[in-house]
Structure 1
Amino acid sequence: MSKNPVLDKFEKLPPEAKKEANDFVQFLYDRYVKSTSQKTKKPISESSFVGMWKDRSDLSDSSAWVKKQRQTQWTKR
């Protein structure tokens, strides 16, 4: 018998049960391990895409830009 009784029991399971156990372990890993590592990510304000259109003069007033787009796209032709 090995040092890990859980692995010994896992090895004795049929293939369908091994897949189910593996899926459950992946679920637990995603929930407890992966989620804690995601908390260390940078805030969205530090993302490279923030401010990528800052030099566009046509977007200086975003509300006016949206209004203009809606008028040209949504008017009946």
Structure 2
Amino acid sequence: MTEAQIARQVAALPQDAQRLVLDMIAALKPETTPSKPARAARKPKRTPLHKERFVGMWRDRAEMSDSAAWVRSMRERDWSRG
């Protein structure tokens, strides 16, 4: 089918159907350059880890002065409950 034949067939359609065809063409057309909002949606701004609120939230707890020992004791307690 040639472009002219396609144009004639689209022109013969009711107005609503023509809009639908144009919307379909727009949806199928590859986007060459994403718009600014699309770029922003793809790449959220990253917060540096040291600025995250949860980092350091247990720093003042006495049992966390040696976190490896604390984890070891929790594992021993929880895993020996048989």
Structure 2: stretches of 5+ with no match in the other structure: 1-17
Give the letter aligned to residue 50 of structure 2: S
Alignment of 1:66 with 2:71, yes or no, is yes
**2:80, 2:71 → 1: CA distance?**
14
Shift of 1:58: 0.5
Shift of 1:44: 1.4
Give TM-score scaled by structure 2 length: 0.50
**1:54, 1:11 → 2: CA distance?**
62
The superposition leaves residues 3-34 of structure 1 with CA deviations (integer Å, 9 ceiling, x where unpaired) of xxxxxxx9324xxx6xxx4xxx8xx77xx512
Alignment of 1:54 with 2:62, yes or no, is no
Structure-to-structure mapping, 1:1-77, within 5 angstroms: 11-13=19-21, 21=27, 33=39, 34-36=41-43, 38=44, 40-77=45-82
**2:49, 2:58 → 1: CA distance?**
16
Structure with the greater alpha carbon radius of gyration: 2
* RMSD (Å) for aligned C-alpha atoms: 3.4
Shift of 1:48: 1.4
Give TM-score scaled by structure 1 length: 0.53
- Residue 10 of structure 2 corresponds to none
**2:48, 2:19 → 1: CA distance?**
43
